[in-house]
Structures are given as structure tokens and as C-alpha cells.
Structure 1
Amino acid sequence: MPPVNSVTVSESNGLTFLDVSNTFASARISLFGGHILSYIPKKDGKERLWVSPHAYLNGERPIRGGIPVCWPWFSDDHGREKGALPAHGFLRTQVWKLIHSEEADNGTTITLSPNFTRAEGFEYDCNVNMIITVGDTMDISLNTENTGVTPFDFNCALHTYFHVDHIQHTQINGIEGQYQDKLDNWSLKPTPSPYTITGETDRIHVAPIKTAEIEVEGSPFTEVLSDGNDSLVVWNPWLGAASISDMDPFGYKHMLCVETSITQGKTVAPGASHTLRQTIVPK
């Protein structure tokens, strides 16, 4: 079935892209990784996502930036030696399929599904799909359904790289409580207030935070709504960007990851399902 009129299919360097343009916004999605690369609301014409200028857009490696899909584990939390299995799981390096598209009063909705969900490190029967609605907001729902006869546990994340004009003029509002500091042996620390980024940051806020706001130059820029999550991850590599091969050494100045996540494990019973949802709200 061909996509609806607001969706154009194109190919480049062996990858297939879906370009969405409607009265509300434009967006770009790579079928490699089911990876959202761009979201530009037409009310202000400002990009909300950041993609590295050095990102691999040829299928050789996961794409750096946009919204990578982490599933069925987060980072290297797969129960094996670090590096034994792909970081963040195996969905972000396979080609997804366009299952359905439709146009409605609130925008364009696209449903994608990966080619397989069973691989080394996760050998359970399940279905996964991602439903993306491009409108005045961008809504992403990652659905995991247990189609087998035994329960399973999994972690996942929508690892969103948000664009900011300058990280040193950026503040995060709405996050409270404690976080696990991955840079300091997972120690628990209180969330800073005001929440600004002043150096390398890799934090798992261990609470089901539903609303966070990215403020740029003193004004709200993007609101991040989360549902079905047990945590929110905040990441910026700072000067460590220089050691990341597909990232500009100064790219950290223009990005901030705020990731709707399950990092503490979610059990899905046979016949049951779980939805992790993130909504990007331009302000």
C-alpha cells in the first residue's frame, strides 16, 4: 500500500527515507533503525532534533542524533560482558517496514515495524511497532506485545537528541529527585537546581518523570512529555565528543539528550503489551 499524500519516499546511499510535510510540520524518518531525523513545526520553522553532521547515513553504523530506538536493553544492560552485544539493542541497526499511514485532522500518522524482534540476548516471541504522529506536536509510541507463552523483561528508550542553540544557554525545568550518575560509579545524587549543563553529563533520573521542559536563552523551547517510562535520561558528552568518531568535537554545544526510558526493567506477561510514549511539544 503506498503512503498517503503527505508522505514522500526517497532513497540515498542505500537508505530509504520517509519525508512528511503537512500543514502543521515537516519531518524525516529513516527506515534504517526506524529512526526519526527531523521535526520542524511550521509555526516557527525551527528544528527540534539534532543530527550529527558526521552521522553515518549509509547503514554502516547506527545514526548519531535524531531519535534512536533502544530496545530490548538500554546501554549495555544485557547481562553479558560489555561489548558482547550491541549497545542499546538491535532495533536501531535493522531496516524497518512501513506498515500503515494515514492523514487526520491532527496530522500524519505513520506505523513502522522492525523486520525481527528475536535475536541473541533476547529470544522471546513478541511484536514491536512504532506509531509516529507528525502534527503541532510529534508523538512517538513504541509498543511491545508479548505473543509468546512466557513472561519477559526488557528495557528500552527513545534516545532523543534535542537541538539547542547553545548548551551553555540551556536549562532543563521539571526534573526533581535523585539521579544515578554513570560518570561517578552510579552514585545517587540530587538533581541540581537550576538544572544547567556545565560539563560531561550522563544521568539516569530514577523516577517516572512525565514532563520536562528545555529552556533556551531564558525562554521555553521544547516540552518533553513521557508516559510508560520509569526514568528519564539526560546526556551530553561535552568535551568527550572529540573522542566520538561520528560527532563533531564541538557538536555537544548544540545538542541535549532527554530520553524517555525504561531502565529498571519492565515485565510483560503473555498476551500483554506495554507502550513507551514521548511527545515533543514546541513552545
Structure 2
Amino acid sequence: MSIAKSIEVSESSGITFLDIDNSLATARISLFGGHILSFIPKSDNKERLWLSPHAVLNGDKPIRGGIPVCWPWFSDDHGREKGALPSHGFLRSQVWQLKASEDNAAGTTIYLAPSFTRADGFEYDCQVTLKVTVGQSLQVELITQNTGLVAFSFNTALHTYFQVDDINHVELTGISGDYKDKTDNWAVKQTPAHYTVTGETDRIHMTAAAQVAINERSVAVTRVDSQGHDSLVVWNPWQGAASIADMDAFGYKHMLCVETACTGDIQVAPGGQHILTQTVVPL
């Protein structure tokens, strides 16, 4: 297999990295977890993804930051007791393979596949592909194909950590409707008209917003475009970051998760497929 000229392959502490550098942007992908770690468009040279300075980058545990792939369940929604199975599924803690890559007019397109898709908690025949296009925007497509004889259901998310200069100066626009508030025993609440983050935030927005903007005062805006989702998750641990081992106590000031998600059951018939897409658009 030939590798696109814009991609440099390196290895560190047992993890293989793909470093992409084309005329439009740079990016870094870890094959451990099929995990995008960085996206810097050359239009403004501003890093769009947040990676914890304490992220474990040796394959011992999932990476904190970037774009983790949650599949085939979100959080602990696997039907068993909490902790019985890995949170957010088993794709983000295995080694993925580079299946194909190419340089094209859109930038650089990469196809990755996990080592396996059948494990405890999900025992169906399927194929998962992560298609990543690094260009003026960063487009991520998580493709789940049913290759078996019976239908199955799953849920999933692209758990993106966005880098912000100061969380106190961030406003989200484009989200409306009700959300479930995990910090308040899953109470259903109305999305605020003026959406800022002023404390611990863990919300499942049940309206599948197609476009959301992360607006920072006097700083570049990032738009999040989503397709194939049924909800949008907004998360910031606030001062709870101090209790997260691989996160700096003040890291919450510089990150905000806006996650394109399927938190309800997605049904895939034999021969069918589901595509979850998130596009990070610099403005």
C-alpha cells in the first residue's frame, strides 16, 4: 500500500502516528484509538483541538483530548452495571490500521479501520471505517456497515475536545430545544438563549443541531457541522478536572467538548450502514 506524500509516519512509546502536512492544514492522528489529536488550518494557524498535557500516549489507556471515537455505546449505555464494560466502548483503546490514503483537491483523505469490531457487549458482524479528510476543514466520518445476517443496534459519538483560549469568553450558538442535564439527575431543561459555560456542564441536547458555532471573544470562530446524529453533547468538567488523573486542574479553562452523537439506539439492517459525520469548519 502506498501512503500519500503529505503523510509522515512515526512511532513513539509504542504508538504509531500519522502527521499530515498539506497546503491547507496540518493534523496528527494516533493509530492507537484511531484518534485525531490535532488540526491546524493554515488559513489562521490556530489549533482547533485540545489535547491534555497529561494525556497518556503509550497505549495504556484512552487518550484524553482530540477526537475519541465512542462505539458501540456512549458512556456506560451498554445494558450492564457501570464499570462492567469499558466506558464509551472498545474502539478507542485498540490499534487501528491505515487502509488507504490519498492527496486530492480537498486535501488529504485517510481511511482507518479498527483491529476488531466484535467483543464482549457487542457480538455482531460489522465493519467500521473512519474516513478523515484534512483540508480547509476537518471532516470525520464514522461508517458502520452491517455485514451479518441479523439487524443490530448501537450508539456512538465523536467526542471532540475543542481548544478555546478562555472558557469564560465562549458562547455557543445554533443549539435549541431541550437537553438532559447529567449534573442534575438527568432533569430535562430548556437550552439557554445565551449559551455560555459557567460551571460543570454535562448535557445531552436532544435536538440534532446541524450547525453549531463556538464563538470566542476577539478570537477565531469554529463551526461544528453534524450529520447522521440524533443529539449533541456539551461537556466541561469545570473544577472537577482536578479529580481526572490525565487532566490538568485548570485544563477546563481551555477546552470544551461539543460532541456529534447518537445517544439513542441506531438500527442497522443486514447490508445497511450508518454514517456519523462531524466537520470542523474554521471561520
Q: Give the TM-score normalised by structure 1.
A: 0.99
Corresponding residue number in structure 2 for 1:275 = 275
Deviations 1:231-271 (A, max 9, x none): 00000000000000000000000000000000011000000
Root-mean-square deviation (CA), in Å? 0.7
**Aligned-residue offset at 1:219:** 5.4
Alignment of 1:136-175 (within 5 A): 136-175=136-175
3-state SS, counterpart of residue 37 of structure 1: strand
Partner of 2:117: 117
In 2, the alpha carbon distance for the partners of 1:194 and 1:214 equals 12
| Residue 205 (structure 1) aligns with | 205
User: Aligned partners of 2:137 and 2:127: how far apart in 1?
Assistant: 26
> 1:40-51 maps to which residues of 2 (within 5 A)?
40-51=40-51
Residue aligned with 1:221, SS: strand
Aligned twin of 1:80? 80
1:11 CA displacement: 0.3
Partner of 1:190: 190
Question: What SS does structure 2 have at the residue aligned with 1:256?
Answer: strand
Q: How many Å separate the matches in 2 of 1:95 and 1:105?
A: 29
Q: Residues 18 and 31 of structure 1 are in contact (CA less than 8 Å); yes or no, is this contact kept in structure 2?
A: yes
Task: Give CA deviations for 1:141-195 in whole Å, capped at 9, x if unaligned.
Answer: 0000001111100000000000000000000000000000011111100001210
Q: Does 1:92 align with 2:88?
A: no
Identity %: 64
SS in 1 for 2:240: helix
Deviation of 1:207 (Å) = 1.6
Is the 1:202–1:236 contact (alpha carbons within 8 Å) kept by the matching residues of 2?
yes
Q: For 1:16 and 1:2, locate their aligned partners in 2 and report how far apart those are by CA, in whole Å.
A: 17
C-alpha separation in 1, matches of 2:191 and 2:219: 21
The residue that corresponds to 1:61 in the other structure is 61
Counterpart position of 2:27: 27
Look up the SS of the partner of 1:168 in the other structure. Answer: helix
Query: Which consecutive residues of structure 1, in runs of 5 or more, have no partner in the other structure?
Result: none
- Residue 2 of structure 1 and its aligned partner are, at CA, apart by 3.0
Q: Where does structure 1 differ by over 6 angstroms across 4 or more consecutive aligned residues?
A: none
Q: SS in structure 1 opposite 2:101?
A: strand
Q: Aligned partners of 1:3 and 1:18: how far apart in 2?
A: 10
TM-score scaled to structure 2, two decimals? 0.99
Rounded Cα–Cα distance in structure 2 between residues aligned with 1:56 and 1:219? 29
Unaligned stretches of 5+ residues in structure 2? none
Tell me how far apart the structure 2 counterparts of residues 193 and 246 of structure 1 sit (CA, whole Å).
33
| Rounded Cα–Cα distance in structure 2 between residues aligned with 1:255 and 1:97 | 29
Partner of 2:227: 227
> Alpha-carbon deviation of 1:218?
5.3
Distance in 2, Cα, partners of 1:221 & 1:164? 10
Q: How far apart are residue 220 of structure 1 and its match?
A: 5.2
Distance 1:194 1:92 in 2: 34
Q: In structure 2, the residue corresponding to 1:253 is in which secondary structure? A: helix
Q: How many residues align?
A: 283
Query: Residues of 2 paired with 1:3 and 1:167: CA distance?
Result: 38
Q: Specify the alignment match of 1:259 in structure 2.
A: 259
Q: Distance in 2 between matches of 1:106 and 1:75?
A: 33
1:130 counterpart = 2:134: no
1:55–1:246 contact (8 Å) kept in structure 2 = yes
2:104 corresponds to which residue?
104
Deviations 1:96-149 (A, max 9, x none): 000000011110000000000000000000000000000000000000000111
Amino acid at match of 1:165: D
